Every structure is written in C-alpha cells, then in structure tokens.
Structure 1
Amino acid sequence: MEGIQRYTTRQSEACKLYVTIMKAKYDLAVKYDLETRLWRYGIYAAIEKLRAHLKMEHGQLTDGVRSAWKKFISTSVALYVDLVAAFKAQWPSIRAGGYRRTAVSPCWHRSVNYLGDLKRYEQMYLKSPDTPASGVLDWSISRRYYREAAILCGESGLYHNQIAIVSNYDEHFLESFHAYLRSLTVKSPFLSAKDALTILFKTVEKRLTAAKLSRRRGIVDAQMMKMDFIRMHEILFTKVSTEHFPTYLSEFASQLKYFEPLVTSDSDEAALVFLQFASANGSMSQLGKFTATSEQDRDPLKDHLVSLAMHVMTFCLSNLLKSTSSGDENFASLSQGGLLYVWITLFWMASLEEAWLTYLQQPRYVHFWSSLANFCNALQSVMAEGESARTTLEDVVGVEILPEDWELNGSMLFTGAFRSKEFQSLLHRDAAEVDSLVDQHLDSRGMARLRAGDLNATRRRLWRILQVSRLLCPKISHLTYNEETGRFSVVTHVEPIATLGEPILVGVEEEEELEYVPHIGEESTPAGSEVDVIVDEAVQGLMEAKRQLNSAIDSRNRFLSSHKSEGTQSSSRMVPGETTIVFDTNIYLYWLDGIVDLANSGDWVISVPLVVVSELDGLKNSDDDVGLAAKRAVQFLDTEFGTGMESERSVRRKAWLKLQTSQGNFLHDLRIRTEDWTTQESAHERKKNNDDVILQCCWYFMQNARQPKNVSPVVLVTDDVNMKLKARTMGIDVRDRTALKTLRGERD
C-alpha cells in the first residue's frame, strides 16, 4: 500500500508541474503539446498501473489502496478543472494571438474530454465496495463532459466515440450507434470506432436473438424496435446477410405502431430518438458498402437504405398530418420527434449526389411525396408575407441555429450547409458566453435540450421543412411547387406507356386515390396478423447452401471469362506490393520460418485472418508438437500486432501486415482475438467453419481488386486439399507451401 501511495503522490506532483507550465506559458504548451504529454505520461500511465493492480488483485482493492487511487483521481480532476479555468481566462489573448491549433475551437475542449475520462475511470474501477455487483453506475457526469467537448469541437471523432462508450454502459444502444457513426463521419474521424461498431452489432444481435420468444408472443417495445433499426444498418455497413434485409424491414415497418408513444411525446428524450434515426440514415449513406454509381447499375443496398428512411418518414408524416387536421393554427400539438426526423431526412435527401436521386423517385414512393405536399400546404402560415424561397441549404440553416444543429455540426454529411460560420462566431465569444451556450444545450445528465415544447423552435423547424421541400422540387420529378399559388403538388407518370400523353398532375386533394404499392419483399403485414419470420432451420440451411453454391458458380464463371485470354488460373502472377498473401493455419504451424522471412522482407502484403489467431490460441495449450508450434506462431503474431497494452504504443508496426476480420474490417491490434457466428439468423451461417471464414477474407480482396488481370489480387497458401478445392471453385488463386520457397525468386 505504501508503494501505491508513493507512486500516486509522485505522479500527482509531476502533473502539477505540467499544469503550472501550461498556465504560465501557453505558447510553450502549444509548441510542445504539453496537454497531451500531461495526459499520456502523467494520468494515463497511472490508470494503466491501476488496471494492472486490479487484475492482479482480481478486482478487489483494500480500503487503503482504494483511498490512494481515489485521491489521485480527485487530485487529477481538480488539476484539470484549474487548467480549464486558466485556459478560459487566457481565451481572449489566445484568440487575438491566432494560434493555429486553437483557431477553430475553444482551447479547453481536450481538457474537458480528459475530465470525462477521469470521472469514467472513477466509476469503472473505484466504485464503493458497498455497491452491489449489479448496481447501476452513474455515467451522467462523464457524458456531460464528453458532450460538452463535442459541442466545443464537433469535428473531432474522439469525443463522439467517448459518448458512444458511456451510452453502451447504460445499454442505450441507439445513442451509442448514432455516436459511433458521428465519430466516423467528421473531419477528424476516430477510425477505431469501426471495430467498436462490430462489437455493438454482435451485442445487439444477441439481444434480438434472446428476445425472439417475446416477439413471437406479440411482446414488442421501443427498445426492441431500436435494435431492429441497428440490425438493418449492420447489413448496410458490413454487406453481410443482405438477403435478410427485406424480411427485417417488413417486420420493422409493420411494428412502427410501437413508436406511437414516442412520436406523440413532447419530451426531449423522445425527440432525440428520431433525430438519431435520421442522422444515422444520413451517416450510413457515407459509410455503407455501396458500389453502384449509375442508374444502369443499381445498388440494392442504396435501395434498402432509402426504403428504410421512407418507411419511418411516412410514419412520421402520418402522425403530423393528423395533428394539422385538428385545426391547431399555432402547431403546438405537432410531434417534435416527427418534425426533427422529417426536416433532417429532407435535408439529407437534398444533399445527396445525383446517383441517389433515382432511388428517391421510384413509383412506389409517390404516396410519400403526396403526403409531404399535403403537409407542406398546411404549413404556409409559417412563412412570412412575401418571403422568397432560399436558394441553398446553407441559407436555410444559417437563418437561425436550432438546438439539433449542434447535434449535427461537424458531420461531413452536412458540411455543405453547416459551414461553421455561425458556430465559430458563437464559440469565439467570451468564455462565459460559451459556457452559457453549453448550459443551454445540455442538462445535468449530459442529454441534449432540444426545446421540444418551444413554440418558436417548432415554427423554425416547420419553416425549414417548407424551404428544403422547395429546394427538392427541381431534383424530384414527383414533387412540384407553384410560385403563383404557393402550393405543392404531386406528379405521377403514366407507366409503362409514357408516350401516350403528358404527365398527369395530381393535386393533393386527390391524395387518397394514390395507392402505395411496396416492392417485393417490402409488403407490410396486414393489420391484426402476427409477423412470423421463423423458418424451419433445415429448410433455411438448404436455401442458404443453394444460394452460396449459385454465388460460387457465378463467381467462378466471371473469373474464368475475365481470364480467357491469359490461360489458366496458374498463369496469374504474384507481384510484390500488388498481391496480398493469406496463409492458412497449417502453414503457421509447419512453415513459420518462411512466413517470418517474408514478413521481415517488407516486399509482400500479408493479411492474417482473425480466425487463424483464434485457431492458434486454441491449439497452443496442447502438450504435443502442434501445441509447441502454435505457441511459436502466437508469439510471432503478438509481437507483430501487439495486444493493445499501453507499453506497446510506441512500437512501430509493419504497415504491410494486416489483421483482418471476416467482415472486411482491419484491426489495429490483438485486443479482440475471436469472432462469433452463433448469433447469425441463418442456420448455415451458424454452422460456418473456419475454412469458410478464411476464404471469405480472401474473397474480400477479390471483390476490391484493382490489379491488372494477369496479377493475382490475393493468393491463399494452404496444404489442405479440401480448402484448395473450395478456393479454386471461388476463383481464388491458391498454392501450397512450396510457393514460399519460390516467392523470393519471383521477387528477384
């Protein structure tokens, strides 16, 4: 205990010295990045020691040791509070000095984030021993600090990632999902959030699997619906199990009624749910694995995303139209969640590239555009007399900043309109005014104040819906606006014989005659009937096997047709820097020295499937020669990739070595060592073996090939005969370990 007390005291004294220098010489602090050094060497180094101590003591600390660490945390918090106050006092001179690192955001945003980290670590590691193991921990202080940092510097993905972490602790999965997407779609993205998203998807999938019985009994709640929403976005993000999307969407659409309490609520929390829905859809349009860019080559994933957005939009508009028909001229009874979803989604649609517009103008969405026109015509009273339409999205947003704008600021999706002029002018005021602005937007729990009951904010949201709808009219052929009458109308084209006459103009009064016909796989379940998507596992497995077999045959045919002029597959060359090599597990066991030589040469890109690491971890405990070989292989991989420990962060990794998951993501280190397929919906997916996963990793490079046709994008090295047959069926270049002996010769 005395050793811990001496260590924490020494660290605290070092931290005080850093703070003293930064308070006295801000230019020196910027030049040498003392703020980062303070955290890394003063605070975080101690936190790593605390973690190691907890692990050694199996999570149980004596009262004296706990008291010493609590004192260190509280001292560190006090230091950062003092540092933030000093930065605020120097803010006027800092702005006048024009330091590059603080030219955009208030200079104390990083220290505010560190305060959030300290309060989070205090909850995680130093909770009172009297707190039950199942006791609910309070993350509100950490969330408040993180969200404040995100307001002060919306372009940093780190702060949104930290918000996602504490939301995960509270099992607020939608908020966590939204924050992870935000962290990846800002100017300075936090790329590790991709790996965290993968973990979140698995957690949600397990929860939905456990909730199947409740769903079959008709027990569905809003939390389950939020997880359904995340599950559909997982398909868009990973491009895995895309064939299930129509089923999930049909189920989700038929159960939107369970959101009625949320969409009709006037609370900020309810409104925030729909803001997160809309923002997530927009972010996914940038992050999803979309491929096609032209109308001739349609992308089903884009179609899926638009369908999801339209279903929720139609649901929100339906509720809003009910409220407008009640004769409320002040629109006080309108759903704020619905308004937020509608205007943000319209904003997203107006920001989309031209390649997306064809997906928005499909005939099955005429009913939606008709509902929008009807709603907009009921809103004309919110427009000032003689007010002209805005010509750009920036003009629409720049009139007045609303609370939700702070939730979207920094996102690359809205960069075209949120050019940060107004945001920067607000954040460059005196520190007291900036603090007041933050307090207006955040409550004590760190939740956004969206002013759901504010009539002025309601009318500004309605005004935005009108203005963005006008901007959409030239882009969307179904929607028109008449400047003379000031009314919106819907155009529906005569199909399939469009040459018989001019397009038919349908006024909104005729809206009820327009029938909304969903596309195949998107049909809603009739009212009163149960949704039953449970299929016999044997049949489902056969269907999945048939689909994969057809896919493999098609892939093989495409591969052969593209290589006819070059002879057989073996004529493809392995080229350093162009060809990625994937080694099967048996090569790591019996030819590790060859792999090590190639890895050290730096001439070849080597991808290590995470499932290979899992197999080696399972084999290393054996007492025979295989176990010894597996231990050597694991030591090699741990050395090359690291295990995520703080002490390894200064080690320079080899850029040509990659650690790959089955979903096409690449990990930075081996903190995550396994993948789990038991939560997959398909029985065939649950029974997938490790060979299939390694082949899936190889297929990723085939799909994303940019090499000339006579160069192999990927080569699988294995001595497994069955695996060779599977690989050749898929068109993957496969060789045995004798190739290792010739690679150096090929290079020369």
Structure 2
Amino acid sequence: MAPETHPMTEEQLVHEVEAIYAGLVIVEIGCIRTVKKLYNEPEELTVLQWQDLTAEHRVLLHQHFDFFLASSHPVANKSLKTLANTYSMPTRLWRHGIHSFLELLRKKLPSSLGHMHEFINIAYKNITSLLESVPDYKETWIECLGDLARYRMAIEEKDMGQRELYTRIARYWYTKAADLNPDVGRVQHHLAVLARPNLLQQLFYYTKALTSVQPFTEARKSILLLFGPLLDPAKAATKYSEHYPRALTVFVEAHGVLFTRNDAFTFLRLAEKFLSELDKHARLVGPLFREQGVYITASNYAAIFDYGHDDAKIPSMFNQDGLIQTGTFEILEQACKYRQNPACVQVGIEHRVDGISSSEQVASMASHFAFATLNVLLDRSEDRNILPSVHVSLAFLWCMAMVPESMTRIQADVPWERLATYLNTLINPDTDMAGIENGEFPAQESGLRQLPEDFLIHGLSWSRMYYPLDFFSDMAEDDERSIELPSVMVPRTKRCLWLASKIAKFNCWLVYNAKDCRFCATKFAHDLATLSQKYQIIRRTDSIISSSI
C-alpha cells in the first residue's frame, strides 16, 4: 500500500518559502563576497577554486528555482505569490546568481574559458526550467536566455560556425522579448549588438532603441562604437570594405556626423554621395532592398526625432499621455480642425543653413535628407522592392499628420507631387479604391496579418499611432517573417493606398479624385515645395536623375 499523503497547507507552504529564502540569502551573500574579492585579484584561479565557485553559484540557482516554485504554488496566498516581486528576486537571480560570476569568468579569460562554457550551460538549463515552470516571469526569463546566448557567442573566437549558431539563438530569444515588450528600447539595443558586422542593421536597431516608446538612453554610448571607426580620420583608408556596399557605409557615416553634431559640410558631402549612389545600389541588390530600404527609411526618421536626444522637440510631442489616451477619432478631429487654415511654413527650416550644432538644426537637416532619400526612391516607380520603404514613409507621414505640431516641422520637405505620381502607379483597373478609401485598417484575408516591415517599426514612439490595438496579437515565428511570397505585394499595396487616402482626407497636402481614381498634390503642397526650394542645400546630381528606371 502506498503511504498516505496529505496536501500541503498554506501555513506549511509559508514556512517552506521562509526556509528556502533564508538559505538562499546565505548562499547569495557568500557568492557576492567571493566574486567581489576575486574580481580585482591579479592571480589566476586554480581549477579547484573555479569548481568551488561554480558549485556555489549552481546552489544559488537551485535555491532560486525552489523559491519561485514554492511561492507560486497553487495553494499560495496573494501575499506569497507577490513575494518574488517584493524581494526583487528575478533581478537578484540574474545579478548575483549569473551576471557577476560571468563577468568574473570573462575577466579571467582565456584560462577560465572551459569553466565559463560549463556555467553558461548550467545557467541556461536553469532559466529554461524557470520559463517552463514559472511562466509569470517569462519576459525576464526570455531576455536572460538571450543574454546567456550572447555571452556564449562573444567568447567563441575560433569556431565561426558555433559563433553564428549562438548569435542566431540569442537573436531568437531577443526577438521573442521584443514581441512581448515592443516598446522597450533595451531589447532593440541587444539586437543592435547582435547585428555586427552589418553596419546598416546596427544603425537601425541602435536608433530604434533610442526612439522607442521607452527609449534606452545607454544606446547613445553604444552607437558611438559603430560611428567611431567611420568618423576617425586615422582609419579613413580602411572604412570602406569590398565586402560591404559602399553606399550603405556612406549612409551610416552620414548619420554618424549628424548624431555627433559634427561638421555640417561633411554631412552634406556624405549625404550627396549617398543619394548619388542610392539608385544604383537599389538596382544592384534587388530583393535585398526590401529590408535595407526599411532600415534606411526608419533610421532617417529617427534622425528627424534627433535620435531621442533630451532637447529634441518632436519626440515629446508623441510622448504626451493625453495623446495616447485619446481615441483615434478624437485625434483626427483635432488634427482636421488644425488644418482648416494651414500656414505655408515649416518650423525650423531656416535653421539648417546655420549648421548642425543644435537639436533644431539636426531635425531640420534630417528632414531634408530623409525626404531627399524618399525622392530618389520614388523615381524607381517600376521597382516593387522599394514598396516596403514607401509603406513605412506613408505610415510615418500619417502618424505625423495626426500630431499637427510635428508635421509642421517636415511638411515642406516632403515631395508631395512625386509621391502622388508614384501612388497612381499602384492603382490598377481592378483596384477597389472605394473599398480601400472608406474601409478600416486593411487586414489580410488569409495568411499572416503582418507585413515584414510591420515588425521592424513596431514599438517606435510614432508607430503606435498606426496599428490597431490587437494587430500584433497573433504573430509568425521570427524565421518566418523574412520569407516574402509574391502574394504579399497585394496587401502591401493596399496598405499604401489606404494610408494615402487617409492623408488625403485632410485635404491639405494630397487629394484623391474618386472619379479619375488619381491622387494629386494640392496647391498648398506646391506652395510648400516653393518654400522648400529656398532651403535646398543637399543637391541631387544628374547621375541620380539619369539612372532612374
């Protein structure tokens, strides 16, 4: 006969958790003291010392696991279930149970390499078990798993296959973390680090980290590691690699000058160089430009936000609590009233001729550059590989239009007439423009709801004005998102036309003629173009115009 068992009472569980926590604290204090003592000692540790340290931290991880399991037991009361938060247990697990020991191991490399491999495996298994058993903290566990994979990637210097494997694993976990917390810039910063050596992808993720709903300001330091070699005169001879497109290197370098508020003349030279090479680059890379174009476009719009700098004007316009709490209809109603008698101005446009030493000047110059870039892309009207970047631009303009004070800082730079001409190429005889114009946010009738570029701009401070609340509730796995079937062209085109029709409803910059099924720029847009011409300091060369498709 099996022995008789009795379910655990609440009182017994409380005593159990108290006992586990008391033991955990003792081990934790020991780990903190030992690591702190050894961190600054120059002597190499013996194998026995490493084994003892690893065992001590393994015990601490097991204590944490037991604590989380017991405090989330089905019979636990509310007070017990909130104990992990009260005592900051997830943070303490990472900081004292894993991170500090990993930093000690890293400092003692290469002699500690084998021990570091061993401990990363121990920690990874522990966190994986917590992810399965204590899902209430899955956001923390997922980010921890990404961090552990990144540590493993960073110490793999010989086997490039293994390094790439752990890079993919880290990216997998960080992408999951970004899906759960799209507004958190810190996770975008992690993805930027993993993007090395891809300069453009690094720029995109660093700038996204700085202009997310919850910006990660530490990225201001990290991004300088990207810009440093490109801006260093001593490394001028080696910054252009035959293995990386020159146009993209020039683009990232131009952003480096703008970000550091360096020399305006240098920025203009680089901007003009990039614009002169952009058409040829887009033609050469073909389908790769679908993703590259989004990186370029989104990075340019991050520059208009002055990369989230403290004294930037536009980010604060999108961070108003009242704006986010207000319904879309009310926002549109207010924006339409604002546009009833629009003034032909662009706030700050005159500042760009004075340099790039202030936030106002950076934003104005960035607007000039961003829409000069869009202008070049719109010339490629037969190239559907530019459509993702045009989609992002239309989404950006729609969101800016809903925040009138922000739109007044870019509206003269936007090539409205060229945009209208391009939009008309997207309209076919069988296009249901009446349904698009009067319908809600276009949802795909079958397959995935999201387009690849939706995931890239999700979480930016301006893009939350664009998407319906439940739009990202059902998402594809990371490795499926970049797979683009020809059928994606239809919903992407529909989105572009829907956004354009929404912008046209302001009757301000664009109008849509339902009878002719055509968009056209307004007289106000032409007046803005005349204003913009007075401040055109980035010049397009003849080669740009002549090489368009």
Fold-level similarity (TM above 0.5): yes
Letter paired with 2:175:
R
Aligned to 1:30: 85
Distance in 2 between the 1:152 and 1:257 partners? 37
Aligned to 1:117: 147
Q: Does 1:281 align with 2:300?
A: yes
TM superposition shift of 1:487: 1.8
**Aligned Cα root-mean-square deviation (Å):** 3.8
Distance in 1 between the 2:258 and 2:544 partners? 30
TM superposition shift of 1:318: 2.8
Aligned to 2:26: none
Distance in 2 between the 1:345 and 1:495 partners? 19
SS in 1 for 2:123: helix
Which residues in structure 2 correspond to 1:189-588 (within 5 Å)?
189-206=215-232, 210-211=236-237, 223-261=245-283, 264-265=286-287, 270-288=289-307, 295=346, 297-298=348-349, 299-300=351-352, 301-319=362-380, 321-322=381-382, 334-335=384-385, 338-352=386-400, 353-357=403-407, 360-362=410-412, 365=415, 367-376=417-426, 378-379=427-428, 381-383=430-432, 386-390=435-439, 395=441, 400-418=449-467, 420-423=469-472, 425-426=473-474, 437=475, 440-443=476-479, 449-455=481-487, 457-474=488-505, 477-491=508-522, 520-527=536-543
TM superposition shift of 1:25: 2.3
Residue ranges of structure 1 left out of the alignment (5+ in a row): 55-59, 89-93, 95-106, 324-333, 427-436, 504-513, 530-748
Letter paired with 1:187:
V
Distance in 2 between the 1:492 and 1:3 partners? 78
Larger RCO (CA within 8 A; separation ≥ 6): 2
Distance in 2 between the 1:137 and 1:474 partners? 49
Question: CA offsets per residue over residues 387-425 of structure 1, 9 Å max, x none?
Answer: 54357xxx45899433332222222111222364333x4
Q: Does 1:174 align with 2:200?
A: yes
SS in 2 for 1:421: coil
For the structure 1 residues 138 and 44, does the alpha-carbon distance in structure 2 shift closer, same or farther, using more than 3 Å as the test? Answer: closer
Aligned to 1:627: none
Aligned to 2:189: 161
SS in 2 for 1:264: helix
More helix by share: 2
* Partners of 2:212 and 2:459 within 8 A in 1: yes
TM superposition shift of 1:138: 5.3
TM superposition shift of 1:365: 3.2
Letter paired with 1:453:
L
Letter paired with 1:199:
L
Which residues in structure 2 correspond to 1:689-708 (within 5 Å)?
none
For the structure 1 residues 69 and 361, does the alpha-carbon distance in structure 2 shift closer, same or farther, using more than 3 Å as the test? Answer: closer
TM-score by length of 2: 0.70
TM superposition shift of 1:246: 2.5
Distance in 2 between the 1:172 and 1:494 partners? 38
* Partners of 2:436 and 2:497 within 8 A in 1: no
2:134 to 75, 87, 90: 87
Distance in 1 between the 2:404 and 2:544 partners? 40
Aligned to 2:213: 187
Aligned-pair identity in percent equals: 19
For the structure 1 residues 174 and 75, does the alpha-carbon distance in structure 2 shift closer, same or farther, using more than 3 Å as the test? Answer: same
Distance in 2 between the 1:208 and 1:137 partners? 34
TM superposition shift of 1:196: 1.1
1:12 to 58, 83, 96: 58
Distance in 1 between the 2:120 and 2:203 partners? 29
Residue ranges of structure 2 left out of the alignment (5+ in a row): 1-46, 73-80, 315-344, 353-361
The number of aligned residues is 442
SS in 2 for 1:480: strand
For the structure 1 residues 210 and 151, does the alpha-carbon distance in structure 2 shift closer, same or farther, using more than 3 Å as the test? Answer: same
TM superposition shift of 1:276: 1.3
- Choose 1 or 2 for highest CA Rg: 1
SS in 1 for 2:465: coil
Distance in 2 between the 1:249 and 1:222 partners? 18
TM superposition shift of 1:354: 3.1
Distance in 1 between the 2:49 and 2:540 partners? 66
Distance in 2 between the 1:404 and 1:363 partners? 24
For the structure 1 residues 220 and 318, does the alpha-carbon distance in structure 2 shift closer, same or farther, using more than 3 Å as the test? Answer: farther
Distance in 1 between the 2:393 and 2:544 partners? 30
Question: CA offsets per residue over residues 660-706 of structure 1, 9 Å max, x none?
Answer: xxxxxxxxxxxxxxxxxxxxxxxxxxxxxxxxxxxxxxxxxxxxxxx
* Partners of 1:173 and 1:227 within 8 A in 2: yes
Distance in 2 between the 1:405 and 1:224 partners? 27
Q: Which moved more, 1:359-368 or 1:269-278?
A: 359-368
* Partners of 1:83 and 1:111 within 8 A in 2: yes
Distance in 2 between the 1:205 and 1:165 partners? 19
Letter paired with 2:224:
T
Distance in 1 between the 2:515 and 2:506 partners? 20
SS in 2 for 1:481: strand
Letter paired with 1:315:
V
Distance in 2 between the 1:249 and 1:110 partners? 41
* Partners of 1:174 and 1:227 within 8 A in 2: yes
* Partners of 1:116 and 1:145 within 8 A in 2: yes
Question: CA offsets per residue over residues 72-112 of structure 1, 9 Å max, x none?
Answer: 11111111111111234xxxxx6xxxxxxxxxxxx412211
